[in-house]
Every structure is written in C-alpha cells, then in structure tokens.
Amino acid sequence: MARERGNAAAQAGLPGIETLYRRYGAWLRAALMRRFGTAPHDTDDVVQEAWLRLARYAPEAAARHPRALLLSIAGNLVRDDARRRARRGDTIAIDRLGDAETPAAMPDQVAVLVLKETILSLPPVCRDVFVLSRFSAMTYEEIADHLGIAVKTVEWRMGKALAYCAAALGDEGTDERR
C-alpha cells in the first residue's frame, strides 16, 4: 500500500518521504529541542516516530505543508509522552509544555523546565527539604520543626539535594553550602 502511494506521489511530481526527510529531518529535530526542551535521545525517538506517522499520510497531504504537519505530529507525540510520564509521576506537568500554536520556548523557559524536572526527580525526602528551603524561604530550624526531623538531617538532605541538582545540571562546581 505504501509503495503504491510512493509510486503515485512520484507520478504526480510530489516529493517522497525520503526527500522530505532529507529536507526537513534536521529541522524537525532542532525544532523539537528548541520548542519542548526535549533531551537528545528523547528527541531522536520522537523524530523517528513522527516520520513513521507521516508515512501513513497520503502524499498530497504530506507535501502540502510538510513542516506544519511534522511539527503537529511531533508535538502530539511529546504531549502524549508527557501525559504517560505524568500518570507515572516521572516528569514535569503537562501544562508547562508549549503547543504547536505558541512561539518557540525561550532559552530561559527551557532552563526552567529542565530545573523543574530535575527537582521533581529528587528523592522525596531530599525534595521536601529543598523545596521548603528554596521556595518557601524557611530556615533549616523551621524545616526541621515542620518535618519533625533534626536540623543535622535537614542539612544532610539539603547537601544531597544540591549535589544531585548540580550533577544533573552538569554544574559540579556549585558550592553546596549556600
């Protein structure tokens, strides 16, 4: 069936999937990383799946606006993956992802998303201490009282959280005592 479509596309003078891939493959990968802030290995998976899904379309539909169609397919794949991960509690909230109609994420927005994903991936006991310290502006003594743990435990967990974030964000030189 796909071969018949490819032959029909060639006869009609429409570009085939291979031609579209050569023309827009790198663009799609870069657009996904820029717009959604996906990791390179995740981006490759989404790009591959997007091309597989594009191949199912009639050649006329794919050739009409290939970039818009590819970005729409890929955006849906990213959102579907985010929903699956959110159900499992693995990653960032879906409402932070842009959709195909919004402008590309700015570099600082991508950094915020990466930071949020890093914080959410912390072990729960370290994450609680980190969030209370950094976002609720509580002192270590207040956190210890709030959680019913020793101040030394708060300090230890905060150190672990900072080390984890520094390693995850590729910033091993970060001072853990801030």
Domain boundaries, given as residue ranges, for the chain? 2-95, 122-168
Candidate CATH numbers 3.20.130.10, 3.40.50.1970, 3.40.640.10, 1.10.10.10; the one for domain 122-168: 1.10.10.10
3-state class (DSSP) for residue 36: helix
pLDDT digits (tens, 9 = 90+) for 112-155: 788 888 889 999 999 999 999 888 888 999 999 999 999 999 99
pTM over 0.85: no
pLDDT > 70: percent of the chain: 74
**Residue 42: Cβ within 10 Å count:** 15
Chain centroid offset of residue 39 CA: 6
d(CA 5, CA 58): 7
Q: Would you state the pLDDT for residue 102?
A: 44
**Shortest CA distance to 109 belongs to which of 36, 21, 47, 28?**
36
d(CA 121, CA 117): 6
